[in-house]
Amino acid sequence: GLPHSHTLTWLTAQSEEPSPAFIDNLICAEIPDITADRFGFGLVDEFMIHGPCGEHNPSSPCMKDGRCSKGYPK
Each residue's pLDDT, cut to its tens digit, for the chain (74 residues) gives 566 788 888 888 888 888 888 888 888 788 999 999 999 999 888 878 887 888 888 898 889 998 999 887 76
Cα–Cα dist 68/74, whole Å:
10
pLDDT at 70: 85
Q: What is the pTM of this model?
A: 0.49
Give bridge partners of residue 64 from the DSSP assignment: 67
DSSP string, 1-28: --S---------TTSPPP-HHHHHHH--
